[in-house]
Amino acid sequence: MAFTFSELYQRLLKRYGRQSWWPANHPFEVMVGAILTQNTNWSNVEKALANLQQKINLDAESILNLAQEELEACLNSSGYFRIKTQRLQFYCRWYLAQGGYQALQQLSTQKLRQLLLAVHGIGPETADDILLYAFDRPVFVIDTYTRRLLIRLQMIKGDEHYEVLQRLFEENLPKRVDLYKQFHALIIVHAKQCGRKKNKSECEICLLTERGAYSASS
């Protein structure tokens, strides 16, 4: 079954309802979480964030003031903790050198994205997580769940570059921050729901057919 992007969004919204994602108390926490969630699941990130919050105020200065071994211990649960410690330290130094949140918020989305991508360890997905959820910029985040869903629904071939998929969403949807946040979050919750099914491919299709999207029996 072929869907437009708007139809896909409406079916996911009908199925799961509005989401509250990204969970964070302030924008800098989103940034830290975006770095830590690379190559791990969110439950591991939550443990790392909780470890940090028990030791320090979650801000760039406090992170940089932590001894290397203390920071590594806090991030241990997030996986690849030594690499992530270095990346987080690089990011915090860059963040402070740029003047912090208020200064960065004044930049255009294109300029801010370019600067983020120049930071060691920040790739397109992490940069766009930060742009969308920390700075409220209308950029669509492409992750593994999004690519997998579109492949199974035969909306893409699967070998498209990140920016190609991003343009597909942004050119076929209204350019609205809340819409992009909701759509991305709905794809995540759908992926988690299907992750509990034995036949994941069948689950992807079933949940988004007329029967699956609108019937509790699915």
Is 27-135 CATH 3.40.50.720?
A: no
Q: How confident is the model at residue 195 (pLDDT cuts 50, 70, 90)?
A: low
Our separate counts of H helices and E strands in the chain read 14, 0
pLDDT at 45 over 60: yes
The tally of CA atoms less than 13 A away on the side-chain side of residue 3 is 25
Q: How confident is the model at residue 28 (pLDDT cuts 50, 70, 90)?
A: very high
- Tell me the mean pLDDT in the region 141-153: 93
Average pLDDT value over all residues in the chain: 90
Instruction: Please enumerate in sequence order all residues whose Cβ is within 8 A of that of 174, keeping only pairs 6 or more positions apart, or say none.
Output: none
pLDDT, greater one: 195 or 192: 192
Reading the block at residue 75, the tokens are 């991030």
Reading the block at residue 214, the tokens are 């609108």
Distances (CA, A) of 166 to 124, 146, 171, 187: 10, 10, 9, 14
pTM of the predicted model, to two decimals?
A: 0.91
pLDDT at 42 over 90: yes
For residue 217, what pLDDT is reported?
30
CA dist 145 and 151 (Å) reads: 10
